[in-house]
Structure 1
Amino acid sequence: MQKAFVTLGPGAHRLSEIAAEAGLDDSTTGRILTVGTYNKTFVRVDRGKYQLGSTVAELGLHALAADNLSDNDEAHQVLEQLRTATGNGLVFLYMLAQFGGAGRQCIDMAVGDSDLEELGMTHRAILRVTRSLRTGASGRTILAYLPEEIQKKTATGPIPDEAGPGVIKDPDELLVSLAEVRDLGYALGRQECMAGWNSIAAPVIWDDTIWGAVLMLKPMDVMPEAPQEYITATLNAAARLSQLGGS
């Protein structure tokens, strides 16, 4: 149903328009929309029109409209260059989720010859699963540039099951870390995404609005602390992706 709103674009739409785009009858669409208004996924506005109901959804739609990075060979080359510059780190490009709450979704990666399944990951899971902004350097990087009310709501939300042992559990500490991300322009993760892996993330911003984040992962025994040259390389990659996204 949310995909219908993405296709129809920002703003409010009539039930019949939503039903046609979703490929459902009006009755089924009406029931889904009614349930969605209770959890604020949708909002009913004047004259029986509906729209996506959260600031995150609106920002996600903005990110989607500004998405020049999906299936972009030049953007992928930026990820490959970051992988090389960081000694074959695992590099992922995350986009603010278009709908469904405060989340991020991976749209591209540069992992070389690494066997992701041996690392407890699969291409399908990485590219298909929407992950919470509550944890991970890339999640915190995106969250740091979202409105304060979304930050507070996310910080007090549940910690995802997939979080690593280094996840920031205290909501106040998490909010402080977001201010640090904005001050520094990047985030460092220590076993946040998964046990045994440290990370660096930097924001991808288009038109003064957060679009997503680029993330570089390395085993903690190889990168116990993030070298400045790796941080600089990640920042440079994020800056280049921001340019490509706005072009």
Structure 2
Amino acid sequence: MKQAKNPVMAVETTTRILNLIHERNGARISEIAEQLDTTRATVHNHLSTLEQAELVVKEGNEYQLGLRFFTFGEHVKNQQTILNVGAAEVDKLAEETGELGNLLVEEHGRGIYLHRAKGENALSLDTGVGARVYLHQTGLGKAILAHLPEEYVTEIVNQHGLAPSTENTVSNREELFETLEDVRERGYAYDMEERAKGIRCVAAPVITNDDRVQGAVSVAGPASRMEGDRLHDTVPELVTRAANVIGINLSYS
């Protein structure tokens, strides 16, 4: 992951302001200034410029992200070939299992959900499309990490760490690399209540003909339903098949 040699402080401040508005679903100048430990005048200048660029809008005393981001988002979405190729397979997974189907890719060392599909019994989780997660905390992330170059995995760990989300999260570097070796041998990864208690997941990597991992697909459900043969045979077979189909179609797209 590239680090800027000469980062522009104004851009960094603007980015922090936008992230804060996003996280809080709207924020006032005073709130932003307090969080960034800067002056209200500085925040006002940034927001005025962002408003002029149509990136934020003011509603009462709060600033919200503008619809310009929707335009950007649709453009980025349409560029994701794996989404266009893989969405139907994830939908099929959700229908076959009755659970939650997921498609995730890696960018800047984090996982980003591109598509989710709900089966008739699917849970509603806190990670929707566009949500970013730490790769080591999820089955999807571990499926991807297992097929990235080791030096890049090390970079990711160095930058993002291995913070636990639950007591089951792999949070030790040596344990992580051992787990990734198991994933490569098995062909799929597990999330055994590692990101959220009570939720288990089976994930498989999407690999193209040039042996590059492009993302991962998974099925997630409550631990009470994700156990026994279903956890170790039925769901892994379905998830692996879907990942293989997406990988083949992606190779010839």
Q: TM-score, normalised by structure 1?
A: 0.64
The residue aligned with 2:192 is 190
The residue aligned with 1:112 is 119
The residue aligned with 2:226 is 223
Matched residues in 2 for 1:30 and 1:174: separation? 32
Q: Which has the higher helix share?
A: 2
Per-residue deviation, 1:134: 2.2
Matched residues in 2 for 1:34 and 1:85: separation? 46
Q: Tell me: CA distance 1:30–1:76, structure 2 relative to 1, closer, same or farther (3 Å).
A: closer
Matched residues in 2 for 1:211 and 1:173: separation? 24
Q: Tell me: CA distance 1:147–1:234, structure 2 relative to 1, closer, same or farther (3 Å).
A: same
SS in 2 for 1:127: coil
Aligned pairs for 1:1-247 within 5 A = 31=8, 67-70=80-83, 72=84, 75-86=86-97, 88-97=98-107, 101-112=108-119, 119-121=124-126, 125-155=127-157, 157-160=160-163, 163-206=165-208, 207-225=210-228, 226-247=231-252
SS in 1 for 2:82: coil
Per-residue deviation, 1:170: 1.8
Q: How many aligned residue pairs are there? A: 180
CA contact (8 A) 1:186 1:202 kept: yes
Identity %: 23
Larger-gyration structure (1/2) = 2
Name stretches of at least 5 consecutive residues in structure 1 with no aligned partner: 3-28, 36-63
Matched residues in 1 for 2:78 and 2:183: separation? 25
Per-residue deviation, 1:189: 1.4
Q: TM-score, normalised by structure 2?
A: 0.62
The residue aligned with 2:31 is none
